[in-house]
Structures are given as structure tokens and as C-alpha cells.
Amino acid sequence: MKKIEEILNGVSCMAIAGHVRPDGDCIGSCLGLYQYLRDNRPEIQADVYLEDPRPEFSYLPGFSEVKTSCEEKAYDLVVLLDVSSEERIGVAAPLLAKAGKTICIDHHVTNTEYCEINHVEPDASSACEVLFGLLEEEKISEPCAEALYTGIVTDSGVFQYSSTSPHTMRVAAALMEKGVPFTRIIEDAFFKKTYVQNQIMGRTLTESIMLLDKQCIVGIVRKKVMDFYGLTSGDMDGIVIQLKNTEGVHVAIFLYELEPQVFKVSLRSDELVDVSKIAAVFGGGGHIRAAGCTMSGSPYDVINNLTLYIEKQLLAEEEEETTEEEA
């Protein structure tokens, strides 16, 4: 697929949807495409489905029009953005069976190609970067650009993650030229935290533990702690990144409890460990340096299972370095 316009001919109604627990890239790509359609194809009736989009992204145009529950409706086209597998679709999952056509636009290396058309660019920083390449640049309005820039900023860690490329920066520059308030977006979408979010981050860092000769750091938030502070999954954002920023750490593990003995796992790494492979073992996925999954068991069981695979990769890396030195 070269451009999104290729598949819009003959479409009168379509749905746009993202993954469970939508992040900035998911919300930005969905609302970016929605705004693009409103600007350029107003004859197409489009609906956006997202599971409880987080309020910190409420500044984005179209946010108030997002549907959080699924309607029994047959759409000509369903577009999934930033969704690596069918299991992660969320509230819009029932729409696929009735859709005239399904398309996935994604950047996850673990994408399972579950749609009729799958446009996946695993080297891209974000789904928003991929989507930008599928839109007619001259037709991108400032509101559309604002949504796309939000997704790129959040998924690239404000251009600091290894997925950031020269192409990422060129796309960001093109969006800035549309007039997006980039300083405000970076502040609101990435850096700004509520007091309680800062509290839980501080507590998690204080209670974290170091493993594997201090090459791995682990942080845990139990359900009772989340309930005490009145936290949601969105309040956990940024904790795993701060854990990974610890000097000498190659891998960060962050767990928070969804329900008793069920944990959402976030993994971050440097060039020594491919966490997407580890997440895939436990039914998850993501990127080489940032991945996640959901695991059941006690925190100790979850950590032990994860560190087993992390240690294997670290040891393999050490053996490779030793072999190179001997050669």
C-alpha cells in the first residue's frame, strides 16, 4: 500500500481503532487519520474506537468524539493502528468479522499480519511515522499534524529511543512546519505528571531491586497499592523508562498487578538484549528495545521466568565478546 487514498474509493463508512490500554502513539495515529478524513474525505462517515483513552491526550482534536464501546455495525473498512495482533484490538474486536475490508498499519516487529492488508514498518519509531508516509503530505492540516506529532514524540521518548532515525526527524520537522505547538505537546504528552504519578514513580524506584550482577532492575506495583493511590494503568507510564535510566542497567522490568496474581509486564533494554523475543515467549510482543506481555503467578515466579531469558541473552553476549577478544 503506497497511500491510504488507494483503499478509500468506494468507502462510505469506516471504523478506526487501536489497541487495549491505548498510549500516545495509538491515540495520535487514530485521531490523526480521523482528522485527515474529516479534512479531505468528509463524505466518508468515520468512527474512532478506543478503550478508555487517557485524559492527558484530551487536547487532541476529535478526542471527545471517540467511542469507548463497540456498536453492532458493519463497516466498509476497518483500519487498525498500532495493533500488533488481533488479541490486542480491544473494544473494536467484534467489528472485524463484519467488515468489508480490514487494514493494519503498524510498526511492531512482532506483528502477526491478521488483516487483509498489513502495512508494517518495524524500523519506524511509531505508527504515526508509518501513517505519515501513507497520507498526502500537502493535505495534512495542523490538527492532523498535532495528532501525528504527539504519537511520534511519545513512542520515540522525545527522540531519544533507538527507534529514532533520520527519517523520524524529517517527519517531525515536516509536522512542525504545519504549525504544531511542539513545546506544549512534548510537555503535555511526555513530561507532565500528576502529583500521585510522581508519588508512585518515587515509591517504585525506592523499592526496586537489582538482579544479575546489577545488570537488571525490577520495579513492582501491587494492586492494593494502586487501589490505595487511586491509580489506573495510565498512571504507570514512564516508570519503566526511569528504571532503565539507572547507570549500569541493561534491562529494566516493571510489573503492575491487573488483578490478583496477574501482572502487566513492561520491558526496556539496551543493545545487549532483545526484549521482544522475551515478551513473545510469554504471549506478548513489541520492539527489540521495548516490549511487554501479561503474566500470571506470584511476582517472584514472574521475575524468575523473565530473568532466566534475560540472563541467557546476556551470557551469550559475553561469550561472543570473549570469542572476539581471543580472535
Classify residue 199 as exposed, middle or buried by CB count within 10 Å of its CB (0-12, 13-18, 19+): middle
Give residue for cell 526484549: 275
3-29 confidence digits (pLDDT tens): 999 899 999 999 999 999 999 999 999
The pLDDT of 78-94, averaged and rounded, is 94
Order of strands, sheet of 209-211, starting from the edge strand that comes earlier in the sequence:
209-211, 216-221, 251-259, 262-269, 290-296, 285-286
- Could you tell me the pLDDT band of residue 324, with boundaries at 50, 70 and 90? low
Q: Is the pLDDT of residue 90 over 70?
A: yes
The pLDDT of 55-63, averaged and rounded, is 94
144-181 confidence digits (pLDDT tens): 999 999 999 999 999 988 899 999 999 999 999 999 99
183-212 confidence digits (pLDDT tens): 999 999 889 999 999 999 999 999 999 999
What type of residue sits at position 165? S
Give residue for cell 490538527: 143
- Could you tell me the pLDDT band of residue 1, with boundaries at 50, 70 and 90? confident
| Nearest residue to 208 via CA among 221, 197, 223, 195 | 221
Q: Are 61 and 36 in contact (CB under 8 A)?
A: no
Q: Taken in order 161, 167, 168, 173, is the CA torsion positive or negative?
A: positive
What is residue 158's predicted lDDT score, i.e. its pLDDT?
Answer: 94
Grid coordinates belonging to 316: 551469550
What is residue 60's predicted lDDT score, i.e. its pLDDT?
Answer: 96
The pLDDT of 28-56, averaged and rounded, is 96
Q: Are 31 and 60 in contact (CB under 8 A)?
A: yes
Structural domains in the chain, sorted by start: 4-191 (3.90.1640.10), 195-326 (3.10.310.30)
Question: To the nearest whole number, what is the mean pLDDT of the chain?
Answer: 95
